[in-house]
Amino acid sequence: AVVSTQSTGNSDMFSNSLSACYSLLLFWCVSAEPLRFKDGKFKIAQFTDLHYGEDEFTPWGPIQDKNSDHVMHSVLNSEKPDFVLFTGDTLTGNNIDSNATAYWKYVLSPCLQHNTPWAHVFGNHDDLSQKNGDRETLLRYDQTFNLSYSIAGPGDLFGVTNYFLPIYGEHSDEAEAVIYALDSGGGKIEEQITPGQLKWFLEVYHVNLQVYGPVPSILTFHIPPQEFEELFNTGECTGYLNNTIMPLPSRGLYKTILSLPNIHLVTTGHYHENDYCCPVKNKLLCQGRHSGYGGYSTIARGSRIIQLEKDRLQTWIRMENRDVLDHLVLKYQ
C-alpha cells in the first residue's frame, strides 16, 4: 500500500542528479510493486460518481449500491484493466450516518475480488460523513489495502489527493507513462484548484520530464473547468454534455493543461449526465461515464476506458451491458 507523500520543495533545488535521486526514492516509496505496462499496453478503467451510501436508511439506497457493484463487476470482467481510477464522489458522505470506512471497503470489493489495483481522487461528496469521513481518514484507510496506490500529496497544498504515479516498462525500470492527479476540493473544503496546486503540478511535471523524458501522461481530477464546455460547443467532440458546467475557481488550469505537450488526456467526473471527449492541441479532454446508481442520472451507467500504448492512446466507454461507445484513438506527436 502507498504510504508516502510527494513534495518537490523549491523548484531551483533540482539538478539532474537530485532529480534522479528523487525518482529512485519515489520508485521505492510509492509501492513495492510498481505499475507496469503489459504487452505494450496499460489499460485503465475510470469509475466516477459511484455515490455509495446515498439514502442508506431507505430501501432504495442499498439497492443502488448493489447496482453499482454490478456496473464495476461488468466492466472489470469485460475489460480486465490493469488499473482502476476512482475519480471522486465515491461516497455520498452527507447521507452516511454510520462508519464511512465501512462503505469505502464495500466500494473496493470488486477491485479486491478481481485483484485490480486502484487509486482515488476525492470529489465534493466524499468527505461529508461525520464518522471517519474526512479526507485524511478515508485516504489512510484506503492505503491499508495492498492494492491501493492512492497517495496523500504534500501537506502544504490545498486538498489531499495531489500526486503522480509513474508506469514502468514491462521489463525495465524506465517509466513509460505518468498519471497525475489533483484534488479539486468540495465537501468540507472549497471547490477549487489553487495556484499553489498548479505551481506544484508544473514543478513535478518538469522534474519528471528530466527524469523520465517526454513520456505520455494523463491528468485526472473530479470537477472540470468551464472551458471544457466551451470546447464541447465547437462541435468536434464525441459523447454527451447534458449538464451545464459551472465555473470552478481554478485560474490558469485550462491554460496550464494546454501548455503541457505530454499531457495527452484529461478525465474528470462530477456531472452525471456528461461523458464527452474533445480533441484539442493533440490532447483529449474528457469526462468519465457515470458509473454509480447513486446520484441523479437518466443515462445508462458505464466506465471510461483509457489504454496507453507506445505511440498512441485509445479511449472508449464500456457500458454496463457490455456495449462499447465513442472509441477514439490519439497518436502522440
How far apart, in whole angstroms, are the C-alpha atoms of residue 267 and residue 254? 13
Q: Do residues 163 and 221 lie in contact, with contact meaning Cβ atoms separated by under 8 Å?
A: no
What pLDDT is recorded for position 32? 59
Residue 49, phi then psi, degrees to nearest 5: 55, 50
What pLDDT is recorded for position 13? 35
What pLDDT is recorded for position 6? 58
pLDDT tops 80 at residue 10: no
| Residue-wise DSSP of 111-131 | HHHHT--EEEE--SSTT--SS
pLDDT tops 50 at residue 263: yes
pLDDT tops 80 at residue 56: yes
Helix 135-142, helix 100-114: angle, nearest 10: 30
Mean pLDDT to the nearest integer, 31-46: 91
Burial 284-320 (b: 16+ CB within 10 A, else e): bbbbbbbbbbbbebeeebbbbbbbbbeeebbbbbbbb
User: Which phi-psi region, left, alpha or beta, contains residue 185 (left: φ > 0; alpha: ψ -120 to 50)?
Assistant: left
Better-scored residue on pLDDT, 320 or 126: 320
Query: Cell 508506469 appears where?
Result: 167
How far apart, in whole angstroms, are the C-alpha atoms of residue 279 and residue 232? 9
Better-scored residue on pLDDT, 211 or 11: 211
Establish how many alpha carbons lie within 13 A of residue 46's alpha carbon, considering only the half-sphere containing its beta carbon: 32
Residue 261, phi then psi, degrees to nearest 5: -65, -25
pLDDT tops 70 at residue 202: yes
Better-scored residue on pLDDT, 295 or 277: 277
- Residue 149 confidence class, pLDDT cut points 50, 70, 90: very high
How far apart, in whole angstroms, are the C-alpha atoms of residue 275 and residue 328? 13
Q: Do residues 102 and 63 lie in contact, with contact meaning Cβ atoms separated by under 8 Å?
A: no
- Amino acid present at 68: S
Give the model confidence (pLDDT) of 96-137 as tens digits.
877 888 889 999 999 999 999 999 999 999 888 877 789 999
Mean pLDDT to the nearest integer, 206-233: 96
Copy the grid coordinates of residue 66: 448493489
Q: Do residues 217 and 179 lie in contact, with contact meaning Cβ atoms separated by under 8 Å?
A: yes
Task: Please name the residue ranges forming H helices in the chain.
Answer: 16-30, 60-79, 100-114, 135-142, 195-212, 227-232, 253-259
Strands 302-309 and 312-319: antiparallel
Copy the grid coordinates of residue 277: 471527449
Copy the grid coordinates of residue 169: 516498462
Q: What is the reported pTM?
A: 0.91
pLDDT tops 80 at residue 219: yes
Q: Do residues 86 and 119 lie in contact, with contact meaning Cβ atoms separated by under 8 Å?
A: yes
